[in-house]
Structure 1
Amino acid sequence: MKRNFEEMQLGSIELFCLAAELSSFTEAANIAGVTPAAVSRSIARMEERLGVRLFVRTTRQIRLTDGGRRYYEQCHEALLQLREAEREVTGGQAAPVGPLRISAPTPYSHYRLLPLLSQFRQRYPEVTFDVHVSNRNIDFAAESYDIAIRGRTPADSTLIARKLEDAELVLVASPAYLQRVGAPASLDALHQHDCIQFDLPSTGRKIAWLFHDGGKPVEMETKGGYTCSEDVLGIVTLARSGAGITQTYRFIVERELADGSLVELLPQHGGRSRPFFLLFPHARHLPLRLRTFVDFLTEKLITQA
């Protein structure tokens, strides 16, 4: 196997990553124990060798170009893997290090994922999190995500999907709404009620409500004076304020059902659920921080569910 890199080039990569993270040649030089001019020359040689401009330089600051950012992400990951490899081969205790970029939908983030992150960082303080809380579907490759939680399996065959849970759905309304309008006695009676809708971001269509009827699963289209999009927690806030009836995940409204601020309706038609999946890249060698976090989430969330 021929040598593709010289020791000087690997050192230049480390200087480049430092400068990218600090947005400063001077600060990178201070940490590395070299002069700012040495950092500048090193990065200039990299740009010449690659034929790509890595930084936009002004008198006040530097910032990565689009190509520089892509190169940084790959170099940073490579340096982390080298660090892990050295720890393992020297018999040191390998520990997860580096950033994890996560995308998860609003309800699952607030009620399942986010409360667990501090536990993970207490065990592995060198791991950092960048969490994208949104119901928008993300592109792993284009947006550089490490892991995602979604309500359906992906069409992308490069991703591994692990089911975390089948989250039970529940029909709820506030006591104030029920006192004012009355409770529905059947599924058909929902057509006479204000049913709070949620638009699914991926399709722009209202989500059908799921029930059991006569032992069979049924989907039901409902209508009302309120529709929310993007943040599914909005339908719960509306229901709690007396705006109408909505269907949501039981794990979101467990506290409200317990304290009586929301009331479960038509439980004889309940029991339907929607799944949540953990998605991550199908790679031969996943970074240690990602492998460790996947195992942590699987243990915590599947046990909790």
Structure 2
Amino acid sequence: MDFKQNTKQIGSIQIFCKAAELSSFTAAANALGITPAAVSRSVARVEEKLGVKLFARTTRRIRLTDDGQLYFEQCSEALRKIDDVEKMITGNLSAPKGTLKISVPTTYGYFRVLPVLTKFKALYPQVTLEIDISNRTIDFIEEGFDLAIRLGQPKDSRLVARRIEAATLGVYASKKYLEEHGTPQTLHDLKSHECIQFITPSTGKPLPWVFLDNGEEIEPAFNSSIRFSGDVLGCVGYALANGGLFQTYDFIAGQSQYQDLIEVLAPYRGRSRFFSIIYQQNRMLSAKVRVFIDLLVEECQLSMNKETH
């Protein structure tokens, strides 16, 4: 092993990560107190060793290639671990602190995230939490969010998503509604029932109901005379008030305040929607962000395990 060469390579990797984080050789040079030419040479050394291009360069900006993105994610995590171990050994590993700004949708916020916050605050009292609970479309970067939780994948290429839960769905109604209008037995029966719909803020259109019929994914069409926007819980509350049928997440219907709801069309269940943690790519995650993600994923997994047993 050529120790001197390996040490130089680690330094080049650190410079590469800073350039990737800031999306600029010049900004990385200023942050590290070296010249842009030195940054360029270090990146070139790493690319030569790997035999791939890590950045796509134009006259105005740089961006990571697919290989570069993968390399950045793995190297930044490795460098973070090295830094943490060094601080631990020297007794300087500081507790997470500062302000953590998070955006969460109403349903996932109320029933998944809020129960985790008290435990998080007990573990990390030096972190100040700012929680935005809404279904609005946010400007993640302009509004300064550290994290967001949303359905699916972000459309903004500057953001990455880590899936945390495939939330299963069921169709529910009140006992009184079913006594008065009958219980649907097939998807075709939906056309003769009041089906409550939710308007998604990102599209302005009703969120489709999704089912599995003999392994085939189905999104049946039906008419609805009432639609809610802003908060999905309005739909759930209206179903509880004998207003009609509504497809919602099982983790909502399982809450004690909604225990009077009855599931229908169970043979057609099996579909789910993914909730993901969203954060900015090309940025090394701070301690406060990492510990929050780890705790949320752990607690959500525990909740899902309890709900399935």
Structure 2 length-normalised TM: 0.68
Identify if the C-alpha distance between structure 1 residues 256 and 186 changes in structure 2 by more than 3 Å, giving closer, same or farther.
farther
Match of 1:187 in 2: 187
Match of 1:19 in 2: none
Asked if the contact 1:196–1:223 (Cα under 8 Å) also holds between the matched residues in 2, the reply is no
Match of 2:163 in 1: 163
2:176 is the counterpart of 1:176: yes
1:22-33 correspondence runs (5 A): none
Look up the SS of the partner of 2:110 in the other structure. helix
Distance of 2:130 and 2:89 partners within structure 1: 30
% same residue: 40
Match of 1:153 in 2: 153
Look up the SS of the partner of 1:107 in the other structure. helix
Distance of 1:208 and 1:221 partners within structure 2: 8
Look up the SS of the partner of 1:141 in the other structure. coil
Listed as ranges, the gaps of 5+ residues in structure 2 are: 1-28, 34-83, 305-309
Superposed CA deviations along residues 17-50 of structure 1, whole A, max 9, x for unmatched, are xxxxxxxxxxxxxxxxxxxxxxxxxxxxxxxxxx
Match of 1:129 in 2: 129
Shift of 1:221: 2.5
**What letter is aligned with 2:178?**
L
Match of 2:231 in 1: 231
Moved more, 244-253 or 87-96: 87-96
**What letter is aligned with 1:165?**
E
Superposed CA deviations along residues 47-104 of structure 1, whole A, max 9, x for unmatched, are xxxxxxxxxxxxxxxxxxxxxxxxxxxxxxxxxxxxx9x9769523410001110001
Listed as ranges, the gaps of 5+ residues in structure 1 are: 6-83
Identify if the C-alpha distance between structure 1 residues 95 and 216 changes in structure 2 by more than 3 Å, giving closer, same or farther.
same
Identify if the C-alpha distance between structure 1 residues 281 and 242 changes in structure 2 by more than 3 Å, giving closer, same or farther.
same
Structure 1 length-normalised TM: 0.68
Shift of 1:3: 11
Asked if the contact 1:174–1:242 (Cα under 8 Å) also holds between the matched residues in 2, the reply is yes
Measured on the aligned residues, the alpha-carbon RMSD in Å equals: 2.6
Look up the SS of the partner of 1:220 in the other structure. coil
Distance of 2:237 and 2:172 partners within structure 1: 11
1:185-224 correspondence runs (5 A): 185-224=185-224
Match of 1:272 in 2: 271
Asked if the contact 2:240–2:258 (Cα under 8 Å) also holds between the matched residues in 1, the reply is no
Superposed CA deviations along residues 97-129 of structure 1, whole A, max 9, x for unmatched, are 011100011100001001101100101101111
Distance of 2:301 and 2:282 partners within structure 1: 23
- For these two proteins, the number of residue pairs brought into alignment is 226
Distance of 2:197 and 2:30 partners within structure 1: 62
Shift of 1:134: 0.9
Look up the SS of the partner of 2:275 in the other structure. strand
Match of 1:99 in 2: 99
